[in-house]
A and B are shown apart, each in its own frame.
Chain A
Amino acid sequence: MKTLKTAVLGTVLAVLSGTAAFAGCGIEEGRVSIVGNEFPAIQTIAKAAAACAEGDVTVESNLTADHQKINVAGMSGNPAEYTTAVVANSSIVALINEDVIQPLDDLVAEYGQDIPKHQLITVDGKIMAVAFMANAQHLVYRKDVLEKIGMDVPTSYEEVLAAAAKIRREGLMEYPVGGAYKAGWNLAQEFTNMYLGTDGEFFEPGTANVSINNDKGVETLEMMKALTRYMNPDFLTHDSNATNAEVEAGNVALLNMWGSRTGNLMDDEGAEEEVYSNIAVAAPLTVGGSGRPATTLWWDGWTVAKNISDEDAVATFLAMKAGISPDILNDDTMSEAVWLMPNFEPAPVNMGVLASVEAQSTPYPMVPFQGLLHTALGDNIAEYLQGKETAEQTLADIEAAYTAAATEKGFLK
């Protein structure tokens, strides 16, 4: 047993290396086990939480891009394997649906009075998560290319099309528009952005009945198809990483990209100076004159598992609170995300996300059946973009696929 403990501690210490220790989390004993996505901001938090591992406290973390495939299973047991899951506003829904996370009201009342109110995520009045960063997709563009064609920074997708046409006409770039249009989750996300931009509603209010087969759905699909004419023909295989590679290669001048990923575009790694020094961010685009930004707002935050002892719940709460304390922000970590902590100082790279918040973009819906619609969207839109069927047929297919899935899950009769 002793060797096991030493091994665990060793792992934790190895994780810790490179950060200052934030001692004194106020935990005496308990088990903390984190599951979450893998990107710099979450790694920073896991490191800071791991610093609470002293004495009888153990802190482990499993950060992986496949986190949402394992978090429900890992929290369903009793006791749960993971005492906390780091989630976003889309993935928290699966945890709430399966009833594996606990309301944090009592813990916040006793240990978390100093957490700013805007960081608390409440569902039906109960605190279910504590958010630490915001994210959104917004316009990223090449200053030098827009200067060459003598056009202003686009504010709508219509202007993007006009600029793209001019860039191609002047022979600057063959495929000037970029976007994560990979069939599946990414493509569904782009539809979601655009559809919200047309002021569309996904469901009949208060029900699980889908309602996207309408004029706004058609308008959304038509705009997406118009954009793809200016994209690399392989767009259906391009996720965010591949899209960014195209930008860094200097092939793309206008794209809708995640705020959390623009830092990679603006640093001096992987691209020529002409490319990275000319990358700039702007507010999210609108479509069709509705005035609503065609993007969704996201938060990332942490939860506490339901099936764990009170002692572990307290330890988890305190360790994660330490993980997102204002102290973790320093010169290295400040630009990793749009942090929600009060001492966050935005850098130019964060302006796109802040503009998205300011423009009152819609948060990605936290509806129990949104995930099913997302999957149905991702499976069916490609056929329309390939020109294999009409927009109406595609929308009907999406609705039918969603309805079958929602019936199976008990949301529809």
Chain B
Amino acid sequence: MKHSSFFWFILPSAFLMLLFIALPIASVVMQSLYTSHEQVIVEVENCGPFGCKKSTTIDQEATAALRDAEPLGKFAGLDVYKDRNHLAFSEIGTAWVESDGLPDFGSALMNLPFYKAMAFTLTYTAIVTPLTIILGFMIALAINSVARMFRGPTIFFSLLPFIVTPLVGGLVLFWMVDARGILGTGLQWLSGDPTLSVKASTGLMWTMLMTYGIWHAAPFAFVVFYAGLQTVNQDTIEAALIDGASRWERIRYVVIPHLTPLVTFVALIQLMDNFRVFEPIISFSAEAHATSLSYAIFNDLGGETRLLSSAAATSVLTIIGVGLLVSPVLIRTYRDFDK
């Protein structure tokens, strides 16, 4: 392709990416470096249907001039990143000095919201990503060997978890695992423990969230692998058959090597998606047991007083986190490309 035609070809998409991806990120980074101006608080008397009460309010006139001069707020540098609700450097320092032994330090670390969220997010990513790939691959193999006339409906049913809106799918499961729901009661019967409740136990809640994550994302991996399976060279398969390779050996030595680039692709997408885990936490009301960085952003913006700088800092940390997580895969792809 000529350079000029490439330029014109890519221009609209480059422009849109600049507008809808690069600029918002730049604005989020900016926001995270500023905090609100110092508020002047005055004591006042508030009255209403229940009588009068001494209270405090913000003196708007006192800060109006400051706000007009610096509408972005007060420059704070990395202060928001360093505070207790984010990276909490000074709290970690104190915990390191004061804790006796690693377990004690670990529990002090887990008491800080950012690290608690990271613990769940990373566990979730590390478990859900590989299991999604394996399950998706198994479904693809199974459906590929189903008789042709049944394939359409089977594919449709296998895709359902992916089609159902995450929030709705999560809510449906949430009520099913309720102590009075069909799955919850089933679990109690299986374990012989009538007080067992998924929603009350952190361990079970984590398992539930991860099961949901795999259930929801497996169809995506399945579709990609199923498409890949259609391109496997049939001559090679036949040659392997003639050489006496078993079904397992054909999969191990012919199919899997052929699908490796697709595995990289699915892993990349899943790593990014899973690191931003959010919907299941909301629909399972799992805030008490598991939080993630995305949940922290939602929480900062959902309160009656919105914490914009805090949410912006967490967003930047999420972007850095995703970058770090996918960098090994990207480097590998780049090297393969270079060869």
Chain A contacts to B: CB under 8 angstroms: 68-69, 72, 89-91, 93-94, 96-97, 99, 118-125, 131, 134, 182-184, 206-208, 232-237, 239, 297, 299, 340, 357, 361, 363, 365-372, 374-375, 379, 382, 386, 389, 393, 397, 400-401, 403-405, 407-411, 413
- What is the interface of chain A mostly: helix, strand, loop, or mixed? mixed
Instruction: Establish whether residues A409 and B288, one from each chain, have CB atoms under 8 Å apart when the complex forms.
Output: no
- Choose from A122, A371, A410 the contact partner of B39 (Cβ within 8 Å): A410
Q: Which residues of B contact A (CB under 8 A)?
A: 35-39, 41-50, 53, 55-58, 60, 74, 76, 80, 83-85, 91, 111, 113, 178-179, 195, 197, 199-200, 202, 284-289, 299, 301-307, 309-310
A-B contact pairs, 8 of them (CB 8 A): A234-B197, A372-B307, A389-B111, A401-B84, A404-B83, A405-B85, A408-B35, A408-B76
Distance of A118 Cα from B309 Cα, bound (Å)? 39
Q: How far is the CA of A404 from the CA of B111 in the complex (A)?
A: 15
CB–CB A233/B179 < 8 A: yes
Residues in B neighbouring A405, C-beta threshold 8 A = 85, 307, 310
Would you call A122 and B46 a contact (CB within 8 A)? Answer: yes
Q: Are A368 and B57 in contact (CB under 8 A)?
A: yes
Residue pair B304, A90 in contact (C-beta under 8 Å): yes
Closest residue of chain A to B47, judged by CB? A122
Q: Which of A365, A372, A397 lies in contact with B111, CB distance below 8 A?
A: A397
Q: Are B46 and A411 in contact (CB under 8 A)?
A: no
Closest chain B residue to A233, Cβ basis: B200
Q: Are B49 and A119 within 8 A (Cβ)? A: yes
CA distance A69 to B302 in the complex (A): 6
Question: Beyond A237-B285, A404-B84, is A413–B303 a contact (Cβ under 8 Å)?
Answer: no
Residues on A with beta carbons closer than 8 Å to the beta carbon of B39:
368, 409-411
**Chain A, Cβ-Cβ closest to B61:** A99
Cβ–Cβ < 8 Å partners of B301 in chain A = 69
**Contact, CB under 8 Å: A379 / B304:** no
Residues A372 and B305 in contact, CB atoms below 8 Å apart: yes
Question: Which of A120, A236, A361, A401 interacts with B288 by CB under 8 Å?
Answer: A236
Q: Say yes or no: B202 contacts A410, CB within 8 Å.
A: no
Seed contacts A121-B46, A389-B111, A408-B310; 13 additional CB < 8 Å A-B pairs: A94-B304, A122-B48, A124-B42, A233-B179, A234-B179, A234-B200, A237-B284, A365-B55, A367-B56, A370-B304, A374-B303, A375-B303, A401-B85
Report B-chain residues with C-beta under 8 Å of the C-beta of A407: 35, 83
In the complex, which of the residues A97, A297, A397 has the most CB atoms of chain B within 10 Å of its own CB atom? Answer: A97
For residue A370, which residues in chain B have a CB less than 8 angstroms away from its CB?
A: 304
| A409 x B84 contact (CB < 8 A) | no
| Structural contact, A131 and B48, CB atoms closer than 8 A | yes
Distance between A385 CB and nearest chain B CB, rounded to angstroms? 8
